[in-house]
Amino acid sequence: MKTQRSAAYLNLSPHAVRRLFQVALTGLWGWFALKFFLAEGKPATLVASALCLLTGVVAAVLVFLSDLSFIAHAPEQAIDEYQLQQRNRAYLATLRYGCGALALAWIARAVGGPHAGISAPVLDNFLLVLFLTLLIAPAGFLAQRLLADEEAPAR
């Protein structure tokens, strides 16, 4: 069965999607981390934070518009059995990623105790980054899975 995808999706290779996924993760989580170091007398940190956010969001949008994102979010009838199997593996990896991120946040809060500095804006930033990365994670993990299958020796 051939994949029925919309012409609105970008035809990016798995290599390109994987690289964009890595850039998006680095940019978005880098923005979140740099927000902790913002101070009045450090405009360079503000510029670096803004560049991380801009780079991360642009890369995330490109991943989300890729045809691998279509496969990752398509109904079962629109993809073949191999693509369905790969998509399910990508969903499992996404679930692990999301649970791991939430567990790390919980551990950071527990270790930091009442002095952890987890305010409402920090929590909002964390949830924003987690939301954006979870939207693109199935396509990113699908690209990684497809590349791993290409590199594996034939049996």
pLDDT digits (tens, 9 = 90+) for 132-141: 999 999 999 9
Within a domain: residue 8? Answer: no
For residue 41, what pLDDT is reported?
Answer: 80
For residue 6, what pLDDT is reported?
Answer: 58
Residue ranges making up the domain that contains 18: 14-151
For residue 83, what pLDDT is reported?
Answer: 87
Instruction: Please give the backbone phi and psi of residue 10, each rounded to the nearest 5 degrees, phi first.
Output: -85, 135
Residues 108-130: tens digit of each pLDDT: 888 876 676 677 788 889 999 99
Within a domain: residue 2? Answer: no
Give, in order, the Cα–Cα distances in Å from 113 to each of 9, 61, 63: 45, 36, 37
Within a domain: residue 44? Answer: yes
For residue 4, what pLDDT is reported?
Answer: 52
Residues 47-95: tens digit of each pLDDT: 999 999 999 999 999 999 998 988 888 888 888 898 889 899 999 999 9
Contact 138, 95 (CB under 8 A): no
- Is 80 exceeded by the pLDDT of residue 14? yes
Instruction: Write out the E strands in the chain.
Output: none
pTM above 0.75, yes or no: yes
Within a domain: residue 63? Answer: yes
Cα Rg of the chain (Å, integer): 18
Rounded Cα distance, 134 and 90, in Å: 11
The domain tally of the chain equals 1
What letter does residue 7 receive in the DSSP assignment?
A: T
Q: Among 1-10, 56-65, 143-152, whose mean pLDDT is lowest?
A: 1-10
| Percent of the chain residues topping a pLDDT of 70 | 90
For residue 7, what pLDDT is reported?
Answer: 66
